[in-house]
Amino acid sequence: MKFYIIIPAHNEASSIGLTLKSLTDQTLLPKELVVVNDNSTDETRMIVEEFQQKFDFIKLINITSSNKHLPGTKIINAFYKGYEVIAKDFDVICKFDADLIFPLNYLEKLALHFNTNKNIGMVAGYCYILKNNQWVLEDITSKDHIRGALKAYKKDCFEAIGQLKKSMGWDTVDELLAKYHNWNIVLDDSLHVKHLKPTGISYNKSAKYLQGEAMYKMRYGFILTFITAIKMGIKKNSFKYFKDYVIGYLKAVINKPKQLVTVEEGRFIRHLRWKGVKKKLF
Whole-number pLDDT of residue 198: 76
Q: CA-CA distance, 111 to 133, in Å (whole number)?
A: 32
Q: CA-CA distance, 177 to 28, in Å (whole number)?
A: 29
Q: Are 176 and 218 in contact (CB under 8 A)?
A: yes
Q: CA-CA distance, 199 to 186, in Å (whole number)?
A: 21
Return per-residue pLDDT of the chain as tens, 282 residues.
999 999 999 999 999 999 999 999 999 999 999 999 999 999 999 999 999 999 999 999 999 875 555 567 889 999 999 999 999 999 999 999 999 999 999 999 999 999 999 999 999 999 999 999 999 998 766 778 999 999 999 999 999 999 999 998 999 999 999 999 999 999 999 999 999 987 655 555 557 788 899 999 999 999 999 998 998 888 778 888 899 989 999 999 999 999 999 999 999 999 999 998 888 776
The fold adopted by the segment(s) 3-195 is: Spore Coat Polysaccharide Biosynthesis Protein SpsA; Chain A (3.90.550)
Q: CA-CA distance, 170 to 61, in Å (whole number)?
A: 23
DSSP single-letter state for residue 31: S
Cα angle vertex 36, ends 199, 259, to 5°? Answer: 60
- Beta bridge partner(s), residue 280: none
Map out the domains of the chain as residue ranges.
3-195, 205-281
Q: Are 199 and 126 in contact (CB under 8 A)?
A: no
pTM of the model: 0.91
- At residue 199, the 3 state secondary structure works out as coil
Go through the chain and tell me how many residues it has.
282
